[in-house]
Amino acid sequence: MSVPPLSILLVEADRDTREDRCADLEERGCVVTPAATPAEGLEAIVLGRFDVVVSDLLRRSRGGLWLWREATALRPELRRRFVFCGSGPVFDRDEVLEQESFLITPVSPATLWRAVLLAVHGPQLQNHRSSSA
């Protein structure tokens, strides 16, 4: 029996970055739904199910942290399933980034992929990597 592909919501304001990340994740066998804004991302979450949400971390109102709060209120199963990408310090760390992954941009495709796998498989992946080293 084959494993179903990962379903990923990718929220990224920069079109080129969004297209590049979508292409890389699709090459890895994922089904990717792109969104240009957190509001579009929330609409996609209302309409569908995702294994992981990859989001830029916009600091203005209705940014990535807003998306996390709204999405996890609607779908609690998305807690620990967000991978945030940002270029600077996050001042609103509270509960969000204690639970979720945060990558400093620029992010290589391999680094993003590892973060996606960790979001899906969590400690099992870490334990597998430690025991196989």
Reading the chain (133 residues) residue by residue, the pLDDT tens digits are 567 899 999 999 999 999 999 999 999 999 999 999 999 999 999 999 999 999 987 666 678 888 999 999 999 999 999 999 987 665 555 666 677 888 888 999 999 999 999 999 986 655 444 444 4
The pLDDT of residue 107? 92
The pLDDT of residue 2? 66
The pLDDT of residue 132? 44
Residue 64 within a domain: yes
Domain residues for 119?
Answer: 7-131
Q: Based on the structure, what is the number of domains in the chain?
A: 1
Q: Which CATH number goes with the domain that contains 37?
A: 3.40.50.2300
Residue 2 within a domain: no
Distance CA 74, CA 36 (A): 20
For 99: left if phi > 0, alpha if psi spans -120 to 50, otherwise beta; the answer is alpha
